[in-house]
Amino acid sequence: MVSPTSVAICDEHDRIPVHNDENTYTVNHEASATLDSTKAFEGPEKLLEVWFAPDRYNLPGSMAHDGLKSVPREMWEDMLSLVHCKVLSFIGTAEMDAYLLSESSMFVFPHKLILKTCGTTTLLAGLPRLLDIACVHTGYPAGIEPWRVFYSRKNFMFPDRQKHPHRSWKDEVKYLDAHFSNGSAYMVGRMNSDHHWYLYSAKRDAASSLNADPVVADGRFEDETLEIIMTGLDQEKAAQFYNDRIVSETTSDCDASSASSDDLDPGHAGGAEITSKCGLAKLYPFSRIDSFSFSPCGYSANGVTDATHNYFTVHVTPELGCSYASFETNVPSSVAGMNSLDVVSYVVGIFGPSQFSVTMFETRATKNSFVNACTERSPPAEIPGYTRIDRIVYELDEYDLVFLAFEKTEA
């Protein structure tokens, strides 16, 4: 694990203002020390991406130079309170701000925001506040819908425990349609399988005065996201995500002026140890990783690469009977000297799931070999030790979506 350039540790009463500078790292010591995940149960996350422009160089002229990155952390924390999660720690780079949350992660770029939350969080309840922040604080034109919106999730393990508006896919689509005029909803995969996937996408109306889309028009718009969703984790591999740490009732004092990476609380220190031992640190060795080990079990990590917009995020709930892990990244596989199937094989090898699904969502300009390897015109994608049971390809505007589902091959 690569140590952060600088660390600040503080409690709720002595919080250091975060100015979102390059290469900063901040820990919310109070939330980290008192977080108890004993009752965590719903691993599958809700994932929202809201794009206000195709990249940071094509922001509307009325927006702040740094776009969403200009928003103070306190405003995001206010939004996250509506979602019912807290910030545990933060990595800031020149291109993005990566927040490790009590329930998964958030990534803030100048032109887009990615929010991923698990459990019974009410992710979409934070959407109106997000849109309001974009208009009021960053100067995004009022009354103009975002450039692109994506919302997705796996089928829930315990749907009856979800809260409005997440009680059903129908409710979620209705909620999203109330905010966006050009939305489309999809269900991908077998309904009678443990692995099917829901997607909602919306794009700004072509009649909008902002919709010149020069980056898209000349084919320069490149975007790719690989997501791996795993269930039925191998219990020997899942054991490394447990700990016997006792959760504190209160946070200890800390001196932010003398804090260093050696002063991390037990949750972050345990997370760093797991990151190294389980092998995640070797996947993208050029990244900085912020990770947390929950008590009595569970693990989250955000990885970022300096001077680029690339990230990866991992979340694990290892409990027997509802074990789950997810991996998501926009790091081009070629950067790590691998192809996308190599990345999938490596990640799956860490967790040993009995079933998993893979989604690759990419623009056609990206030309990732993964899509070609997964079309009907090419040999099937293969992962050693697993049998592919689904292969579905969608064409969605300028994107291609590939969905694969696998089951462990019986010995």
- Summarize pLDDT for 270-293 with one digit per residue, the tens: 999 999 999 999 999 999 999 999
C-alpha count within 13 angstroms, C-beta hemisphere, residue 283 = 34
The reply to whether 300 belongs to the active site is yes
pLDDT value of position 253: 32
Mean pLDDT of the residues in the chain = 84
Give the pairing type, strands 8-10 and 24-28: parallel
CA 335 to chain centre: 20
The reply to whether 118 belongs to the active site is yes
The reply to whether 45 belongs to the active site is yes
The reply to whether 168 belongs to the active site is no
Catalytic residue among 10, 30, 37, 42: 42
Summarize the confidence of residues 319-340 as an average pLDDT.
89
pLDDT value of position 374: 64
b/e map 248-273, b = 16+ CB within 10 Å = beebeebebeebebebbbbbbbbbbe
CA distance 392 to 403: 5
pLDDT value of position 213: 58
Residue 388 confidence (pLDDT) above 80: yes
Catalytic residue among 300, 326, 333, 340: 300
Catalytic residue among 85, 118, 254, 297: 118
Catalytic residue among 104, 152, 326, 357: 104
Least confident interval from 29-33, 133-137, 163-167: 29-33
The reply to whether 102 belongs to the active site is no
Question: Comparing 11 with 204, which gets the higher pLDDT?
Answer: 204
Catalytic residue among 30, 45, 172, 227: 45
Catalytic residue among 37, 315, 328, 333: 315
The reply to whether 376 belongs to the active site is no
**How much is the pTM?**
0.86
Residue 79 confidence (pLDDT) above 60: yes
User: Is 42 within 8 Å of 312 (Cβ atoms)?
Assistant: no
pLDDT value of position 367: 60
Summarize the confidence of residues 316-338 as an average pLDDT.
90
pLDDT value of position 18: 36
